[in-house]
Chain A
Amino acid sequence: MYKVMIIDDEKSLRNLLKNAIQWGELGLEIAGEAASGIEAINIIDEIKPDIAFVDIKMPFMDGIEFSKLAIQRYPDLKIVILTAFSDFEYARECIGIGVCEYLLKPIVRADIKATLEKIIKKLDAEQPKKEDKEVIIQGNDTIRKIEEYISKNYTQPDLNLTSIAQTFGFNASYLSRLFKAETGKNLIDYLTECRMEQAITYAKQGMLMYLTAKMVGIPDPNYFGKCFKKYTNQTYSDFMKQYKNK
């Protein structure tokens, strides 16, 4: 079973893709979806997809930008760009950066299937993936350094587990486990915590949400809103109001 991730700013299009294709029959499953490149970067490490459908035109971080990052960080990830015909020049750029496939909108199921089958073959050929050797390093110092790095760099929107791991020369999943073992927290949660704590201080000052989002490294206010709600159990505006009332 290969994992599929859908990244598109329009929910209905994500739904359509989910519902129009019999994923199970192809031996695929929808592992997750994101409404922007920003959201995708933040959750991709959890989803660990093999294939990503990426809409080329998205706010905050468009498909091209996301793909560049993704190819750099996940060399094995198969990216399928979704584009309208008029963006053909755009699509050529995709090939330039190494995106393997692109599909024209409006989507046609037969084309998607054919593309998916081609990708599955490729993935099959690459299997089995050799397991990364896991070198256990006593890492209190390292973890402290990583924590410091995160607390200093959380405002960068493209920061995620993989980029941190690459920065420190670790395997991502190993780093994740190591971090959890050392601190009792997920590294991603730690990053989010940093961002949200800062966001709370901004919210207390009455900063508008989209500006706060930008300043804490989640320039997609929609995704930021989700994160904030998850973290505080309150929407940003409610939180702001509540604080104001105090």
Chain B
Amino acid sequence: MYKNNFRKVSVETMKHLIEKINVWFYSKTLKEKVRFLFIMLSISYITIFFLIYSFFIKRNMIDYMKENSYQSMVSIGNNLNTEFGAVSTMSQLIMTNSAVVNYLKDDAGNNTRLIQNTMMTMYDISNTFNYVSSIYVFRLDKNYINIGKEVTYINTNIIHDPEWQEEIIEKSGLYVIRVNGNGAFRTKSGEPIISFIRLINDLDTQKPIGLIAINLTTDILRNSFKDMASKDRHFCYYDDQGNILIGEEGVEEFQDMEINQKRFEQVSLEGLFSTKILSYFHVPDTPFTIAKMEYLSFIKYLSSQAIMVITIIIFLTIVCLIIVGIFISVYITNPIEKLVQYMDLLKFGWNRRGNLRLSNLGVGYLKNINNNKLIELNRLIDELLEKEKAMQKAELEVLREQINPHFLYNTLGTIADLALQNSADEVYDAIETLGNFYRRFLSKGSKEITIREEVAIVRDYLKLQKLRYEDVFEDEYDLQEDLLDIKIPKLILQPLVENSLYHGVRLKGEKGIIKVSVYEKDQRVHIVVYDSGVGMNSEQIESLMNENNNKSFGLKGTIERIRYYYDMEDVFEIRSEEGEYCEVDIKIPL
């Protein structure tokens, strides 16, 4: 239970952490992200590089060490045997010395002079050799003489134990090496000694005449590895019982070392930063086993050259990474950031296209795309502006057309004629209408007015036009009352009516009708201007919206304005029969 809970908690903590890292990462700018990524890459590169390098090198080094280890152990064994060879030589010198032979061959073992002589000789010989702790020469009658640098106790009972002697006799003159003479010798200091024992045969008869035991200090063992020991390499000797004979203090690994019958064995204890190699070797012809423990520290794997190579590689890699980083920074992140800033600028306006200096490829390409977009955007804006301009122009044009001297002056002329020929009432009526028309027509402010007002303008307009062109037309109105308060763009009706008069009815030479209708059909308000004028054929209708001439201008401008105002294309329809009628149907969304 507890463990599960803990796991759950830890999983949640992990999730939380990942979430946090995510949030942190996304909050950074592109540049920071790239930097972060760059640093992470560098670190992981170096780490992985070291891991891989150390793994392989370590393997090789350990293998090399192991191989090397055997060789060194063998050579230590050889050293030791060489030393023993020297001891053997010394023993032969003693054995063949006439004083010693005389002593052994003498019938009585207590000839003092002979004993002294023999001891002197032994001393002289042994003095030239190292490691000698004491030398014992035994006669067959159990008498013995000895010399020694160190106080040594002897247990003669053991020496004369046939079991103890068995191996020595078997060897029949070849030496046997025993630690502490297998219990026969004991130093006062307790230091172990190594006993070198052999039979002494008579040179003539080849029969044993005595026994020699040369006790050696353990320095003989120490010296065998002295040259090889170091602070990372430790040695120790075991006796044939597996007890540590000599060894460096504080090296615990030797205590627990398992030693079996194999001549040579090694194990490696690998740690993270260092490896210990433990090995042992049974030194041939001796009861000794040499053991070695070697530390291989991490640093040791790498030679100074290797370190230099690695350093150069890492340095080069970092340089490469930096170059890549700079490249990314200069050609990617910085341009993108510039681009972003540039785009930000664009929020406030347009047309700064091309001010940005970027290379042509990559992000520069983006810029170009962006610029193309901008061109497109600018084009659209231009188009919009153009539309707006066209719309205002159309509106102005309508105004100008109507404010233009012809209409006003001619109307004034007409009124003047009325004044000269007709009644004052008629004149008053005409002036009132004119005033009314212009007041509505020129009213400033809103661009939109109700259909009612728009129709009123048309009524006044047609009333004035009727004064000018008598018997040319009659005006009619068919208006659906509830639609009249809908607002529409100003002055869309008057230009249509004017067209009906000048380009429809008047050209026919007969009295015509101009009719304005407002009704609702299919969710649209229809404002229809009908005239019984000359009409148009389909080609003329077609060209009406495409050509620029006086005839089309009023209609075209008006349609453009309506389209723009309602933001839709389908806003009108022209129905006509040549010579019969023409009907412009403005369809306004409800």
Residues of A participating in the B interface, judged by any CB pair closer than 8 Å: 10-13, 15-16, 19-20, 57, 59, 84-87, 105-107, 208-211, 213, 220-222, 224-225, 237
Whether A19 and B421, one on each chain, are in contact in the complex, defined by CB atoms closer than 8 angstroms, is yes
- Report the Cα distance A15→B413, complex, angstroms: 10
A132 → B minimal CB distance (Å): 37
Whether B510 and A11, one on each chain, are in contact in the complex, defined by CB atoms closer than 8 angstroms, is no
A206 → B minimal CB distance (Å): 10
- Report the Cα distance A210→B510, complex, angstroms: 8
- Select the residue from B412, B413, B510 with max chain A CB neighbours within 10 A: B413
Q: Considering the complex of A and B, which 8 residue pairs feature the smallest CB-CB distances, nearest first?
A: A221-B509, A84-B405, A16-B417, A105-B409, A208-B579, A12-B414, A12-B417, A106-B409
Q: Does B404 contact A (CB under 8 A)?
A: yes
Interface string of B502-522 (1 = CB under 8 A from A): 100011111000000000000
Whether A209 and B414, one on each chain, are in contact in the complex, defined by CB atoms closer than 8 angstroms, is no
- Report the Cα distance A213→B510, complex, angstroms: 12
Chain B residues contacting A213 (CB-CB under 8 Å) are 509
A84-B405, A87-B405, A107-B413 known; 12 new pairs, CB 8 Å cut-off, are A10-B414, A11-B470, A12-B467, A12-B468, A16-B416, A19-B417, A85-B405, A105-B410, A208-B508, A210-B534, A221-B507, A221-B509
Contacts A10-B468, A86-B404, A211-B579 known; A106 to B510 CB distance under 8 Å?
A: no
B406 in complex: contacting residue of A84, A220, A237, CB < 8 Å: A84
- Report the Cα distance A225→B510, complex, angstroms: 8
Interface string of B461-496 (1 = CB under 8 A from A): 000000111100000000000000000000000000
Chain B residues contacting A11 (CB-CB under 8 Å) are 470
Whether A12 and B413, one on each chain, are in contact in the complex, defined by CB atoms closer than 8 angstroms, is yes
Q: Does B420 contact A (CB under 8 A)?
A: yes
Contacts A209-B508, A210-B507, A221-B510 known; A84 to B469 CB distance under 8 Å?
A: no
The number of chain B residues with a CB under 8 A from chain A is 25
- Report the Cα distance A225→B275, complex, angstroms: 127
A85 → B minimal CB distance (Å): 5
Interface string of B261-288 (1 = CB under 8 A from A): 0000000000000000000000000000
Q: Does B431 contact A (CB under 8 A)?
A: no
Whether B468 and A210, one on each chain, are in contact in the complex, defined by CB atoms closer than 8 angstroms, is no
Whether B509 and A84, one on each chain, are in contact in the complex, defined by CB atoms closer than 8 angstroms, is no
- Report the Cα distance A222→B471, complex, angstroms: 11
Whether B409 and A221, one on each chain, are in contact in the complex, defined by CB atoms closer than 8 angstroms, is no
A233 → B minimal CB distance (Å): 18
Residues of B participating in the A interface, judged by any CB pair closer than 8 Å: 404-406, 409-410, 412-414, 416-418, 420-421, 467-470, 502, 506-510, 534, 579
Closest to B580 in A: A208
Whether B417 and A222, one on each chain, are in contact in the complex, defined by CB atoms closer than 8 angstroms, is no
- Report the Cα distance A221→B533, complex, angstroms: 12
Whether A12 and B579, one on each chain, are in contact in the complex, defined by CB atoms closer than 8 angstroms, is no
24 A-B pairs with CB atoms under 8 Å apart are: A10-B413, A10-B414, A10-B468, A10-B469, A12-B414, A13-B414, A15-B421, A19-B417, A19-B420, A20-B416, A20-B420, A57-B406, A84-B406, A87-B405, A105-B406, A105-B409, A106-B409, A209-B508, A209-B509, A209-B510, A210-B507, A210-B509, A225-B509, A225-B510
Chain B residues contacting A221 (CB-CB under 8 Å) are 507-510
Chain A residues contacting B579 (CB-CB under 8 Å) are 208, 210-211
A59 in complex: contacting residue of B413, B421, B470, B506, CB < 8 Å: B506
- Report the Cα distance A85→B416, complex, angstroms: 19
Chain B residues contacting A12 (CB-CB under 8 Å) are 413-414, 417-418, 467-468, 470
Chain B residues contacting A86 (CB-CB under 8 Å) are 404-406
Dominant secondary structure of chain A at its interface with chain B = helix
Chain B residues contacting A10 (CB-CB under 8 Å) are 410, 413-414, 468-469
Chain B residues contacting A85 (CB-CB under 8 Å) are 405
Whether A13 and B509, one on each chain, are in contact in the complex, defined by CB atoms closer than 8 angstroms, is no
B490 → A minimal CB distance (Å): 22
Whether B508 and A15, one on each chain, are in contact in the complex, defined by CB atoms closer than 8 angstroms, is no
Chain A residues contacting B413 (CB-CB under 8 Å) are 10, 12-13, 16, 105-107
Whether A16 and B420, one on each chain, are in contact in the complex, defined by CB atoms closer than 8 angstroms, is yes
Chain A residues contacting B409 (CB-CB under 8 Å) are 84, 105-106
Chain A residues contacting B405 (CB-CB under 8 Å) are 84-87, 105
A22 → B minimal CB distance (Å): 13
- Report the Cα distance A38→B382, complex, angstroms: 46
Whether A59 and B417, one on each chain, are in contact in the complex, defined by CB atoms closer than 8 angstroms, is no
- Report the Cα distance A107→B413, complex, angstroms: 8
- Report the Cα distance A57→B506, complex, angstroms: 14
- Report the Cα distance A205→B507, complex, angstroms: 21
Chain A residues contacting B509 (CB-CB under 8 Å) are 209-210, 213, 220-222, 224-225
- Report the Cα distance A237→B469, complex, angstroms: 20
Chain B residues contacting A16 (CB-CB under 8 Å) are 413-414, 416-417, 420
A186 → B minimal CB distance (Å): 25
B540 → A minimal CB distance (Å): 14
Chain B residues contacting A107 (CB-CB under 8 Å) are 413
Contacts A106-B412, A211-B579 known; A13 to B417 CB distance under 8 Å?
A: yes
Whether A59 and B510, one on each chain, are in contact in the complex, defined by CB atoms closer than 8 angstroms, is no
- Report the Cα distance A37→B489, complex, angstroms: 38
Closest to B400 in A: A86
- Report the Cα distance A208→B510, complex, angstroms: 10
A237 in complex: contacting residue of B410, B421, B510, CB < 8 Å: B510
- Report the Cα distance A10→B506, complex, angstroms: 12
- Report the Cα distance A225→B406, complex, angstroms: 26
Chain B residues contacting A15 (CB-CB under 8 Å) are 417, 420-421
Closest to B507 in A: A210
Closest to A218 in B: B509
B304 → A minimal CB distance (Å): 100
Chain A residues contacting B469 (CB-CB under 8 Å) are 10
Chain B residues contacting A19 (CB-CB under 8 Å) are 417, 420-421
- Report the Cα distance A96→B508, complex, angstroms: 33
B416 in complex: contacting residue of A57, A84, A106, CB < 8 Å: A106
Chain A residues contacting B418 (CB-CB under 8 Å) are 12
Closest to A56 in B: B406
B443 → A minimal CB distance (Å): 22
- Report the Cα distance A237→B509, complex, angstroms: 11
- Report the Cα distance A237→B532, complex, angstroms: 15
- Report the Cα distance A224→B410, complex, angstroms: 25
A214 → B minimal CB distance (Å): 10
Closest to B413 in A: A13
A27 → B minimal CB distance (Å): 22
- Report the Cα distance A225→B509, complex, angstroms: 7
Closest to A212 in B: B509
- Report the Cα distance A140→B420, complex, angstroms: 53
A143 → B minimal CB distance (Å): 33
Whether B510 and A84, one on each chain, are in contact in the complex, defined by CB atoms closer than 8 angstroms, is no
